[in-house]
Amino acid sequence: MNDKPPRFTITCNGCGESVPTGSWSWRHSCGGTLQLDIAVDAARVDSCCVAEDTRLSRFAPVLPLEHAPETAIGDTPLLIEVIDGVQVCFKLEYLNPGGSFKDRGAYVTVVRCAELGFKSIVVDSSGNAGIAIALMGLRLGIQVDVFLPRSTPDGKRQLLRLLHARLHEVDGDRMQVQRETLSYAATGAAYAGHWWNPYFAHGVKTMAYEALHQIPDVDCVFSPVGAGTVLLGLNTGYSELATAGITPSAPKLVAVQAAGYSPVALDLGAADVSAAPSRLADGIAIANPPRRREIADAVTRSGGFGMVVSDAEIASALRWLLARGYLVEPTSAVPLAGLMRCIREGRVRPGQRILLPLTGTGLKVLDELPHITDGAFGS
């Protein structure tokens, strides 16, 4: 039995220095991002795979936590659709309680903050990440403060208030929001921004552990990339499973980015689609993500590649999904837009099996969906 919490290390990706694990760190003093590594072996993985147990807490032996409390997060269905002979395995992450895969990352983040004694967490996201952190904070009795631009749509504000988050509206751009968030964090709250904090990926990795049992042999994973949290989480999970000898090798990772927000794909040598900057993929509209190099390195190590898709391609993939009852947000259609082009161009062939997480629910953006499906972005 592996009922003891796993040992883990935190290292700076910039200078390589070790960082203490017994206190909260979201960035190294040199400005580098932090990498959290857990010594995972086959015995630990086996003890996560107790028959019939579908709870997220069963992954405690491979999570950087003292205890893994019960939650309704995870255990999302996997559905296979065949597109021109290619098996596309949709992992329905938008069915998580907060409506996105980010619930998984928020789970590990907030539980760890609670273990380290924090009574308050601060984030600078009004999107899926803010909602996921607020939901977990509510469950664990931790106050969540959210800094957001004054221009944030009302629907998001209302949802955050419903989850008892305290809202701080900021005049100015995203950088000003981050400055005010960090200055608030200096008063004793844990800053849990998901672009930075190294615990987030270890929540998201549970998607790979679940998927392995639902569909053992996957050739490729197509992932949307903004800050890289889906891709880095899946990379963490599949790398651990390969290191522990559970899978012979990890699948290739394909990073799909939206036009105008594609630094990682361009670093990987992808062709730009020369389209206007995306207005649809707001969940991944990030010009220069802090983990840019790590994302590109993970893709390269896996033997995968990067791609850039246009809003016309995203709208077309979104219509395909909505027409089959997958009620997702436009950002979730980004990897399918990439995959559909790869299938057309023969880069992905019949018989191959692709894992494709559908990351976020369309229920949060119902006012936008009819406009997109009406053909405003091309048909």
Would you tell me which residues interact with Zn ion (CB under 5 A)?
A: 12, 14-15, 28, 30, 32
User: How far, in Å, CA of 193 to CA of 87, rounded?
Assistant: 35
Q: Judge whether 85 and 350 are in contact, CB under 8 Å.
A: yes
Residue whose CB is less far from Zn ion, 6 or 32 = 32
Helix (H, G, I), strand (E, B) or coil at 77: coil
User: How far, in Å, CA of 336 to CA of 222, rounded?
Assistant: 8
Beta carbon of residue 280, minimum distance to Zn ion (angstroms, whole number): 36
Beta carbon of residue 128, minimum distance to Zn ion (angstroms, whole number): 29
Look at strands 8-12 and 34-38 and give their pairing. antiparallel
Q: What is the DSSP letter of 79?
A: E
User: How far, in Å, CA of 252 to CA of 158, rounded?
Assistant: 39
Beta carbon of residue 19, minimum distance to Zn ion (angstroms, whole number): 8
Residue whose CB is less far from Zn ion, 30 or 50 = 30
Residue whose CB is less far from Zn ion, 14 or 69 = 14
Residue whose CB is less far from Zn ion, 27 or 156 = 27
Residue whose CB is less far from Zn ion, 167 or 182 = 182
User: How far, in Å, CA of 262 to CA of 258, rounded?
Assistant: 6
User: How far, in Å, CA of 77 to CA of 79, rounded?
Assistant: 7
Residue whose CB is less far from Zn ion, 90 or 199 = 199
Return all residues near 289 (Cβ < 8 A) that are at least 6 apart: 195, 226, 227, 228, 263, 264, 295
Beta carbon of residue 344, minimum distance to Zn ion (angstroms, whole number): 43
Residue 220: how many CB atoms within 10 A of its CB?
23
Torsion sign over Cα 35, 230, 105, 177 = positive
Residue whose CB is less far from Zn ion, 18 or 54 = 18
Beta carbon of residue 9, minimum distance to Zn ion (angstroms, whole number): 14
Beta carbon of residue 10, minimum distance to Zn ion (angstroms, whole number): 11
Distances from the Cα of 114 to the Cα of 54, 55, 100, angstroms: 24, 20, 22
Beta carbon of residue 327, minimum distance to Zn ion (angstroms, whole number): 42
Burial class (CB in 10 A: 0-12, 13-18, 19+), 32: middle
Residue whose CB is less far from Zn ion, 12 or 295 = 12
Beta carbon of residue 30, minimum distance to Zn ion (angstroms, whole number): 3
Return all residues near 148 (Cβ < 8 A) that are at least 6 apart: 124, 125, 126, 130, 156, 157, 167, 168, 169, 170, 177
Beta carbon of residue 60, minimum distance to Zn ion (angstroms, whole number): 30
Look at strands 34-38 and 18-19 and give their pairing. unpaired
Residue whose CB is less far from Zn ion, 34 or 286 = 34
Torsion sign over Cα 144, 145, 149, 153 = positive
